[in-house]
Each structure stands twice: as structure tokens, then as C-alpha cells.
Amino acid sequence: MTAEVPRELLGSNDIAGLERWLAEHAPYEIADELARAEEVEAVLLFRLLDKDRALTVFEELDPVDQHKVLSGLRDRAFRDVVEGMDPDDRARLLGEAPAKFARHVLAGLSPRERGLTAALLGYPEHTVGRYMSPETVAVRHRFTADEALGVVRQRGPDAETVYTLPVIDERRCFLGTVSLRDLVLSPPDLPVAEIADGFTPRVRATDDVEEAARLMQDANLLALPVVDSEDRVLGLLTIDDALEVIEAADTEDFARQSAATPWTGHYMSASVVALARSRALWLLLLIVAATLTVNVLQFFESTLERITALALFIPLLVGTGGNAGAQAATAAVRALAVGEVRTRDVPRVAWRECRVGLLLGAMLAVVGLVIGTVIVEFTVAASVAVSLVLVCAWAATIGATMPLLARWVGIDPAVISAPLVTTLVDATGLVIYFLVARFVFGL
Amino acid sequence: MTAEVPRELLGSNDIAGLERWLAEHAPYEIADELARAEEVEAVLLFRLLDKDRALTVFEELDPVDQHKVLSGLRDRAFRDVVEGMDPDDRARLLGEAPAKFARHVLAGLSPRERGLTAALLGYPEHTVGRYMSPETVAVRHRFTADEALGVVRQRGPDAETVYTLPVIDERRCFLGTVSLRDLVLSPPDLPVAEIADGFTPRVRATDDVEEAARLMQDANLLALPVVDSEDRVLGLLTIDDALEVIEAADTEDFARQSAATPWTGHYMSASVVALARSRALWLLLLIVAATLTVNVLQFFESTLERITALALFIPLLVGTGGNAGAQAATAAVRALAVGEVRTRDVPRVAWRECRVGLLLGAMLAVVGLVIGTVIVEFTVAASVAVSLVLVCAWAATIGATMPLLARWVGIDPAVISAPLVTTLVDATGLVIYFLVARFVFGL
């Protein structure tokens, strides 16, 4: 969707051409190119930007890419960029960077900016405190709309947003919010207390930032007030940061759903080793878990030797069970993520999914019976068909309930990945298959 | 995270208690309860809200739930709600509702609102036109900041947002945007042309809405101008609508990744049959595709009869290959969705993933060799180990490239689900396994 820097400009070091390209593109497009580029090229491009524009582009980068660009800058340019960042962006960058780099950055900051950043870094990772903007314009509830607008004019230039203003009492305690829109559209002498929205939710700085971000999405907020334990306003979580949190969380969930460890950074700039590392641990665990299937088959080896045709349907049967389980697990993980299901729904979910699995299993059994009879013979086909019903019901039930149980015991439900469910269903599905087959064949 | 209506209040029809609960909760919390409730209870609760509040709550509902609530309202209340909706929300509701219901709604509207809605409904589904807010405040580039604020005061009450204002010339053509923040903070006599941002992207009303929403996220916009083919401003796509689009698209991608057809609506209120239906088609296709594994095994049946121990490792081998393929496919689908990978990256992605797969396969081969030798014997274990390397490399390569190729030919890449990749890898993995085994055993 975005334009790409012509490779030949970079290759030939055509400075005039690159400057023209930069002048013609928006900051977010330039940021996208910097993210995709190798370090040397990214730094070259970044240095060609004038100071104001450089800062805007820099703010659009992810922390990983900010680090990449900064590493290539000389002291003066380095300090300018770091000093110009918003405190919350700076805290996020430092939180993810090596300690030595973080100390270097903090040392170069003005005392005011250092203080703001240090305060945010004091909050644990993944809390609202790390992501909030401390430079907020709050208004007193006794002010009139016009007085409040005066405060916005005076303190607005430093604030990250002025569209949502926390309303506070004398002790800086949170009373609600007022929007700049309502301030502008109201009669100038109307008290803020009368136009404020007392239902705006607020969160603690120590709350989980993903939950706060999803709350903003649910409640359609552009900014969410952040308070301390005594309900005093500390800052605002803005929608652009919330969006980043949600996108990162969804990307994590996607990765986890395929049994990969989430990694930070751009897919195209991740090294082969980094990609392999993000997937290795789960593959190892899963292959060890899959050893169970070898044990099960070994246990039933005599049955298998007598009726070799049973082996032909093993991949089809365990594959189908795995698919049914994966569907149910994914639906449950997503429903939990967007807040449609709560942990106490376990019995209802289990009962629903069991019936869904029986329905699907019955449908697949008909197909299995036909395929089996055509390719081999009726008794094997009958074993496959009956097993499909039972395996699908079992797979859907445990696939959907495992993520809920995970959340219940405090584990990220997305860890219950489709491959994990598949692997577990494989072994149990084989047990079901061979027990059914023994019964059908009268063994 | 949100509070739940006490079941006993609903059960005993305790109107006073329910009204107290409604008064104490924010609109988004009430909307969440309505979405979870059965139709009769949802309508009961909704009717207890006073008119203004009812509208705010109604706007927080998804179209499916809006339809649920409306179906239970009598004519007068029905018309009030429908007339009070924003045109874009109304268009979305009508677009998804049965035709008879849509005609009934349109007939009850005032001519102005009907006209606005009909215009939006004229755009195809999934285009920006269906989601944009036509009630926009645009300002002329020759205005001063103060004059522009006057326009905001005058036309703002009807507009969905006033934080991003399109700047237009005499022919209503798009020149850029100016933010309410900059208007409020600038000297009153500064021309709008001087504070406007000419780099704000715009989209056509006929563009794909998901791409537009991701662009807003990339460029950190609260609203994105929408223009016609002659660059005249038609409206704005606001961030709350963009968020809904992104959430729905991600939910769809999640469903597709597990080979389920996305369905609209709440997981807990979907019927067992609806859930089963959303998963049935893919399971059927996949079980038919899995028949290939039966054919492959049948082809190698003589090998299998001579060395039954080979059968023991079938689920482990195809399972591991499937997992490696699913990881790569999911990474590629997500990278495409968030714009990190483009279709022309196919060769680079294929080569990277092939090496990732070889690395992972080599690691797993060591584990497979140990497991195989302990449980059975060395020759079988060696066959498994060599197959693991080849299968993982193959699975990662085709898992990652298939979604890119799908996008290239114009299919939603998320359709290349983990189960689809798994099923395809199953059959080819078996071929690799038996060919390797024949070679190792010198058959």
C-alpha cells in the first residue's frame, strides 16, 4: 500500500534523489521504509531528514526500529532525538533496550525529561504506567468552559492530547472527563461540572495495559484517564498507544496459536536464527508429547499387525480430530481475548462444544464411511466412522475448555495453541480408534 | 472486567432493582450486557433506559445485537432509535439485516436521514463508503483559525467528529487536514493553509475498508478523509469505526486460521448449529483432502506390512510437519495482515523459511533419533530423523509461501489456514517418510 524507496537510489547513494523521495512522502511511509531497511540504509535515510521531520518519523517507529536508527546516530543528533521524544515512547524504548544503552540515553537527557521518563520506568512492564502520557491537561470541576479552554491554550502545547481532559477536584482526584469538543461547543460560562462525563472509566497505573486498551475499544474512548491508588490523576492512555498494544497482543496471540513464541520486531528483518528460536521450544515440547502417540500405537501393535488396513486411516483420523480441536480452541481463545467469554462459562462452553463436535462428527462419519468402504472395506470403515464421532466431540470439548481453564489458573489462554490441542487429541484419538476397532472386529 | 446484571433481578422482574443497576453503569457496560442477554431480556433492559441514554447504549452495540434489540421494540420507540442513529451505523445495520427489515426502517426515517443512509448503502460492502461519516465539518483553506473555529461551533453539533477537519478549496477538493487542537492553540488570525497538514492520506469511498483502517493505524490518525473520484471530500472514516473493522478482520483471520468460516455475532449467543455450520465446510474439504493420506499409505502398504514399526511414528512425523507448517503459515498471514510482507517478497520468504525449517528439522531429528532408538530400533529411528529434517524444511517453505501466493492471485491469505497446511503436509510428508525408509532399509 505504501510506496517503496527505489533500490537504485540507495544503491547509488543518490542523495538528491533520496531527499526528493523523502520530501514527497508522509512520515508514516518513511517510517515503514526505515523499519524494512537494513541498519546502514535506515540511518542514511534518517540523517537526510530535517530535525522536526526526523522526530515525527522517529515517533512512528517501533522500539526495535528506534533502537536500530539510534545506534547509528552521532552524539548531537542522538541527543536531539531522544530529548524530543514523548516520555511514554522513551520509557518503552528504554524498557526494551539493553541496560547500557538505557543509561547512556538517560544521562543525556535534561533533568525534567529524565524525571518524567524515570517515573514511567518505575512501573512494571505490561502495565498502564509504562504506556501513559504524563503530560496531561487536567481541569478543575469549578471552572467554566471558557476558563477550561484557557487552560488548554496555556498547557496544551506540551500535552500529548487535549481532546480528553480529566476533570479533577481540589485534591487532584478524578471526577470524570470533559471533551475538547464539548468545551468548544458549550456556552462559555457553563461550569465544566455540568458538561463532564462522570461515566468515563479510569484505570490504575499498575493495571494490565492490554485490558485497559481493550476497555478503550469497548467504551469507544480516545483517551483513558490513569490514576494512582488514591484516585489522583497521573496521566492518560491515548488511543494510538492502545492500538499498538492491541496490535502487538493480537500478533502475539496469532504466534501463540501456532505454537510459536512471540518475538518483537518486523518479520522481514528478523534473522533466520531468531525465527527458528521463536518456534523451537514449542516444537520440542510437542515432539516429546507426540511420543505418547508412539506408545499408544505400540500398545495396540498386535491389533495393527492383524489388521494393517487400520493404519491407513491413522493420519486422516488424527488429522480430523486435530482440526476440530483447533477450531474450537481458536474460537475460545479469541472469545476470551475480546471479552465475550469469561472463565466461569466453562460448563456452558463445554456442553455447547460437545454438541457442536457430535454434530460435526456425525457429518464427517458419513463421509468417512463412504471413503473407507470404497478404499478398503466396511468393517474398517465402520471403525473409522464411529471413531470420528467420538474424536470430534472430544476434541471440540477439550479444545474449547482448555483455554478457559488456562485463564482460570492464570496462564495466558493463547498458550493453548492449535498444535498443542492437536498433539493431545492425536494420542487420545488413537486410543479411541483402536478401542472402537477392537470392539467392531470382536477382538 | 465489566459488571454483570444480577440474574435474580432479571428472573424476578425487579424493575426498580434493574433501573438502579442501569443508572450505576456506563453505556458500554450496559451494551455488553445486552449483547450477552437473550432477546427478551435485552429488550426488557433496553426499554428501561431513558431516551438519550438508550441511544448512546444502542450505538455501542454490534449490528447483530442492534437488530436483536430493535426486533422487540414497538413502533414509536423503534422510530426514535433508528432516527437518532449516525448514518454510517444505520447503513451498516441495514446492510446486514434482512431486506424486509431494512425497508421498514428506511420507510420510517425523515427524508434527510433517509437520503444520507441511502447514499452510504449505495457503496458496496467492505468499502470505506459504508463506514464513513458523511456529516463532516470541512474548512476552506483561506479561512483564519478563528473563522474555522466559528465553522466548528456552527456545524459541530451534527458532526460525528470535529477533531480532524478536512481542508478544502473552492471546488470542495481535498487539500489536507487541520486538527482542532492546532486551531485552538494557534493565533486566531493565522490562515488555515499555514497550519494544515498536507501529508494526511485520503482514501476513496470505494476503497477497501480494512486497508483504510490499517492505514489509519499506521499513520496514527483519529480520522481519515474520504474523497470521490474527483478528490472532493465526502466524509471521514473515524477511529472507532476503523477499530471495529480491524477487530472484526482479526477475529475473521483467527477463525480462518483454524479453518472455520467467520461468523458475525457473539460467541456465547451463537447457536450450536451456527457454530457447527461455521466449521463444517472446511472440515469436509479437509477430510476429503486427507483421503490423499490413505492413498499414499495404501501405495506403500507392502513396505508397511514388512516393517510395521514404521506405522508407530506416522502420527509423530505428520504431526510435527504439520506444526512446523502451521507456525510458518500463521507468521506469514499475520505479517501480510499488518503490512510487513508484500507479495513480491515470495522468493525471499521461501528461502528464509526453508533455512528456518532445516534448522528446526535438524534439532528435532536429534530428538527423533533418540526417541526412535529407545522405543524401537536404530534403522526405523534413522528413517524418522532424516524425514523430520526434510519434512520440516518442506512444511515451513510451503506454509509461508502459500498465503503470499494466495494474496497474489487475489484470495484472502487467511484462507490458507494452519489445518489446510497441515493436511497438505500430511500427505507429502508420508511420501517423504516412506521413500526415506525404503532407502534406509534398502528396499
Kindly report, residue by residue over B208-250, the tens digit of the pLDDT.
Answer: 999 999 999 888 899 999 999 999 999 999 999 999 898 888 8
* Identity of the residue in B211, B287, B314 whose CB atom sits nearest the CB atom of A364: B287
Give the confidence band of A1 by pLDDT, cuts at 50, 70, 90: very low
* Identity of the residue in A161, A334, A352 whose CB atom sits nearest the CB atom of B254: A334
B238's grid cell: 473515524
A338's grid cell: 475480546
Question: Is B369 within 8 Å of B314 (Cβ atoms)?
Answer: no
- Report whether pLDDT(B355) > 90: yes
Q: Do A339 and B276 touch (CB under 8 A)?
A: no
Q: Pairing mode, if any, of strands A203-204 and A223-227? A: parallel
3-state SS string over B224-256?
EEEECCCCEEEEEEEHHHHHHHHHHHHHHHHHH
Closest chain A C-alpha to B266 CA, distance in angstroms: 7
Give the confidence band of A230 by pLDDT, cuts at 50, 70, 90: very high
For residue A161, the SS3 value is: coil
CB-CB neighbors (< 8 A) of A184 in chain B:
149, 152-153, 156, 162, 180, 184
* pLDDT (mean) for B128-152: 93
Give the Cα separation of A146 and A188 in Å (integer).
Answer: 5
CB-CB neighbors (< 8 A) of B199 in chain A:
25-27
Kindly report, residue by residue over B408-425, the tens digit of the pLDDT.
Answer: 888 888 777 778 888 888
Question: Is B394 within 8 Å of B420 (Cβ atoms)?
Answer: no
- What is the maximum span of chain B, computed from C-alpha positions, in angstroms? 92
Average pLDDT, chain B: 89
CB-CB neighbors (< 8 A) of A305 in chain B:
308
Residue B46 Ramachandran class (φ > 0 left, ψ -120 to 50 alpha, else beta): alpha
Q: Do B331 and A423 touch (CB under 8 A)?
A: no
* Identity of the residue in B153, B157, B287 whose CB atom sits nearest the CB atom of A320: B287
Cα–Cα distances (Å) from A186 to A146, A154, A192, B7, B232, in that order, read 9, 19, 10, 41, 30
Q: Do B287 and A367 touch (CB under 8 A)?
A: yes
Q: Look up residue B442 and give its DSSP letter.
A: T
Kindly report, residue by residue over A96-115, the tens digit of the pLDDT.
Answer: 888 888 888 888 899 999 99
Residues whose CB is less than 8 angstroms from the CB of residue A310 and which lie 6 or more positions away in sequence, other chains included:
A303, A304, A380, A383, A433, A434, A437
pLDDT of residue A370: 93
Give the confidence band of A263 by pLDDT, cuts at 50, 70, 90: low
CB-CB neighbors (< 8 A) of B324 in chain A:
279, 283
Give the confidence band of A6 by pLDDT, cuts at 50, 70, 90: low
Interface test with A, best of B245, B340, B354 (most A CBs within 10 A): B340
Interface test with A, best of B208, B323, B342 (most A CBs within 10 A): B323
Percent of chain B with pLDDT strictly greater than 70: 98
pLDDT of residue A3: 56
Percent of chain B with pLDDT strictly greater than 90: 47
Q: Do A375 and B311 touch (CB under 8 A)?
A: no
Q: Look up residue A430 and give its DSSP letter.
A: H
Buried/exposed code over A264-281 (b: 16+ C-beta within 10 A; e: otherwise): ebbbbbbebeebbbbbbe
With both helix axes pointing from N to C terminus, report the angle between B63-71 and B87-96 in degrees, rounded to the nearest 10: 80
Give the confidence band of B182 by pLDDT, cuts at 50, 70, 90: very high
Kindly report, residue by residue over B328-339, the tens digit of the pLDDT.
Answer: 988 888 888 878
Kindly report, residue by residue over B80-134, the tens digit of the pLDDT.
Answer: 888 988 888 898 888 888 888 888 888 889 999 999 898 999 999 899 999 999 9
- Report whether pLDDT(B1) > 50: no
Q: Do B419 and A326 touch (CB under 8 A)?
A: yes
CB-CB neighbors (< 8 A) of B320 in chain A:
283, 286-287, 290
Please give the angle made by the CA atoms of A331, A336 and A341, to the nearest 5 degrees. Answer: 95
Give the confidence band of B68 by pLDDT, cuts at 50, 70, 90: confident
Closest chain B C-alpha to A115 CA, distance in angstroms: 26
Q: Do A276 and B163 touch (CB under 8 A)?
A: no
Residue A259 phi, psi (nearest 5): 60, 40
Give the confidence band of B62 by pLDDT, cuts at 50, 70, 90: confident
Tally Cβ neighbours within 10 Å of residue B415. 18
Give the Cα separation of B58 and B69 in Å (integer).
Answer: 9
Q: Do B314 and A313 touch (CB under 8 A)?
A: no
Closest chain B C-alpha to A151 CA, distance in angstroms: 11
Q: Do A268 and B422 touch (CB under 8 A)?
A: no
Give the Cα separation of A248 and A209 in Å (integer).
Answer: 11
Query: Which sign, positive or negative, has the C-alpha torsion B373, B376, B381, B384?
Result: negative
Residues whose CB is less than 8 angstroms from the CB of residue B281 and which lie 6 or more positions away in sequence, other chains included:
B261
Higher pLDDT, B36 or A171: A171
Closest chain B C-alpha to A74 CA, distance in angstroms: 28
Q: Do B254 and A280 touch (CB under 8 A)?
A: no
Nearest residue on chain B to A34, judged by CA atoms? B340
Burial of A111 (0-12, 13-18, 19+ CB in 10 A): exposed
Q: Do B326 and A426 touch (CB under 8 A)?
A: no
Helix (H) or strand (E) holding B412: none
Q: Do B181 and A184 touch (CB under 8 A)?
A: no
Higher pLDDT, A350 or A71: A350
pLDDT of residue A2: 45
Kindly report, residue by residue over A145-154, the tens digit of the pLDDT.
Answer: 999 999 999 9
Give the confidence band of A363 by pLDDT, cuts at 50, 70, 90: very high
CB-CB neighbors (< 8 A) of B161 in chain A:
181
How many residues belong to chain A? 443
Nearest residue on chain A to B303, judged by CA atoms? A308
Which of A262-271, B265-274, B349-358 shows the lowest mean pLDDT across its residues? A262-271
Q: Would the pTM count as exceeding 0.90? A: no
* pLDDT (mean) for A209-229: 93
Helix (H) or strand (E) holding A233: strand A233-238
Kindly report, residue by residue over A407-420, the tens digit of the pLDDT.
Answer: 888 888 877 777 88
CB-CB neighbors (< 8 A) of A36 in chain B:
340
Q: Do A26 and B200 touch (CB under 8 A)?
A: yes
Kindly report, residue by residue over A288-304, the tens digit of the pLDDT.
Answer: 888 999 999 999 999 98
Give the Cα separation of B94 and B208 in Å (integer).
Answer: 19
Closest chain B C-alpha to A290 CA, distance in angstroms: 5
DSSP symbols for A337-370: HTTS--GGGHHHHHHHHHHHHHHHHHHHHHHHHH
Residues whose CB is less than 8 angstroms from the CB of residue B78 and which lie 6 or more positions away in sequence, other chains included:
B70, B108
Question: Is A72 within 8 Å of A39 (Cβ atoms)?
Answer: yes
CB-CB neighbors (< 8 A) of B128 in chain A:
none
CB-CB neighbors (< 8 A) of A323 in chain B:
258-259, 282-283, 286, 419, 422-423
DSSP symbols for A283-320: HHHHHHHHHHHHHHHHHTHHHHHH-THHHHTHHHHHHH
Q: Look up residue B3 and give its DSSP letter.
A: -
- Report whether pLDDT(A265) > 90: no
Tally Cβ neighbours within 10 Å of residue B50. 10
Q: Do B422 and A153 touch (CB under 8 A)?
A: no
Q: Do B1 and A339 touch (CB under 8 A)?
A: yes
Question: Is B107 within 8 Å of B83 (Cβ atoms)?
Answer: no
3-state SS string over B113-177?
HHHHHHHHHCCCCCEHHHCCECCCCCEECCCEHHHHHHHHHHHHHHCCCCCEEEEECCCCEEEEE
Is ipTM beyond 0.85? no
Nearest residue on chain B to A307, judged by CA atoms? B305
For residue A242, the SS3 value is: helix
Burial of A231 (0-12, 13-18, 19+ CB in 10 A): middle
pLDDT of residue B6: 67
